[in-house]
């Protein structure tokens, strides 16, 4: 029970001081904790979804980041460290992104992204695989026109 109480206190600290978590994950509930393991749940609401009304990858990424912090907290650390592979700056900084569609097929599209600061230093990278089979049927597609454009 001590682990659960402590992890919940860390979660409350996130809710009180963070810019993102109280806006996106405010209704997240920590349901169990023991050293090295945390369980939580989230009732999916509109703000958690994408334009197809399914859970947004950004919500999942936020839960991965927060969940990692809460798992560290379950070991007794109130200050849970900073992400080494999910970071990018602080208030007032500018982050620049370049995203590439590396491979584009009938079923899947593979993308990669690189985030840099204005000095050109890479601050984060990511990749994303998209299921596009149903997207090919959208009448608003302009794939043929885009194929005519030279890089």
Establish if 84 belongs to a structural domain.
no
Same domain, 49 and 100: no
Same domain, 7 and 54: yes
Task: Tell me the residue range of the domain where 143 lies.
Answer: 96-148
Query: pLDDT category, 106, cuts 50, 70, 90?
Result: very high
Same domain, 7 and 59: yes
- Give the per-residue pLDDT at 90: 79
- Give the per-residue pLDDT at 10: 95
Same domain, 51 and 12: yes
Same domain, 101 and 61: no
Establish if 78 belongs to a structural domain.
no
Same domain, 67 and 102: no
Establish if 132 belongs to a structural domain.
yes
Secondary structure, 3-state, the chain: CHHHHHHHHHHHHHHHHCCCHHHHCCCCEEEEEECCEEEEECCCCHHHECCCCCECHHHHHHHHHHHHHHHHHCCCCCCCCCCCCCCCCCCCCCCEEEEEEEEECCCEEEEEEEEECCCCCEEEEEEEEEECCHHHHCCCCCHHHHHHCCC
Establish if 110 belongs to a structural domain.
yes
CATH number at residue 19: 3.10.129.10
With a pLDDT cut of 70, the percent of the chain lying above it is 97
pLDDT mean over 67-94: 85
Same domain, 6 and 60: yes
Which range is least confidently modeled, 11-20, 32-41, 43-52, 82-91?
Answer: 82-91
Establish if 26 belongs to a structural domain.
yes
- Give the per-residue pLDDT at 81: 86
- Looking at the structure of the chain, the number of domains it has is 2
pLDDT mean over 123-136: 89
Query: pLDDT category, 151, cuts 50, 70, 90?
Result: low
**82: phi then psi, degrees, rounded to nearest 5:** -125, 150
Domain C-terminal end among 23, 39, 73: 73
Is the pTM of the predicted complex or chain greater than 0.85?
Answer: no
Establish if 140 belongs to a structural domain.
yes
Establish if 28 belongs to a structural domain.
yes
């Amino acid at each position: 029970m001590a682990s659960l109480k402590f992890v919940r206190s860390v979660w409350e600290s996130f809710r009180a001081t963070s810019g993102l978590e109280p806006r996106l994950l405010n209704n997240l509930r920590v349901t169990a904790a023991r050293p090295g393991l945390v369980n939580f749940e989230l009732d999916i609401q509109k703000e958690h979804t994408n334009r197809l009304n399914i859970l947004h990858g950004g919500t999942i990424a936020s839960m991965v980041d927060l969940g990692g912090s809460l798992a560290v907290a379950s070991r007794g650390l109130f200050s849970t460290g900073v992400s080494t592979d999910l970071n990018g700056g602080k208030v007032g900084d500018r982050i620049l992104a370049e995203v590439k569609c590396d491979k584009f097929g009938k079923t899947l599209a593979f993308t990669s992204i690189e985030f840099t600061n204005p000095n050109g230093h890479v601050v984060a990278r990511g990749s994303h695989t998209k299921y596009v089979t149903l997207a090919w049927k959208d009448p608003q597609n302009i794939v043929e026109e885009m194929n005519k454009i030279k890089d």
